[in-house]
């Protein structure tokens, strides 16, 4: 299949790299070690069930939801676009 300047398998390589980046980014966000008993943002108690379910937890559910909402949509663009696709 003709793909212009891209070599054979280049599209799949881009897809693989994008997926690998997303997995790495998700793994970096996972906390390790003991969690906190109180939220580091609002100082509310963090229930033992949450601390058991989420190792290394540092935020209560309310603060975690607010933080997740702030970060939603960040990094969703594929910055590995080929030069061919940019020239169209």
In a domain, 33, yes or no: yes
Number of Cβ atoms within 10 Å of the Cβ of 57? 21
In a domain, 43, yes or no: yes
Stretches where the chain sits below pLDDT 70 are 1-6, 73-88
CA quadruple 4, 11, 28, 71: dihedral sign: positive
Q: Which residues span the domain enclosing 60?
A: 28-71
- Residue 75 has a pLDDT of 57
In a domain, 3, yes or no: no
Question: Domain count of the chain?
Answer: 1
- Residue 31 has a pLDDT of 74
What is the value of pTM for the model shown?
0.52
Number of Cβ atoms within 10 Å of the Cβ of 61? 14
- Residue 32 has a pLDDT of 75
- Residue 78 has a pLDDT of 55
């Amino acid at each position: 299949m003709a793909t212009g300047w891209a070599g054979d398998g280049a599209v799949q390589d881009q897809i693989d790299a994008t997926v690998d980046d997303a997995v790495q980014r998700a793994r970096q966000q996972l906390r390790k070690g003991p969690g906190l008993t109180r939220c580091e943002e609002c100082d509310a108690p963090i229930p033992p069930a949450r601390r058991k379910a989420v190792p290394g937890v540092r935020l209560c559910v309310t603060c975690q939801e607010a933080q997740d909402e702030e970060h939603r949509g960040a990094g969703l663009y594929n910055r590995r676009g080929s030069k061919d696709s940019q020239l169209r």
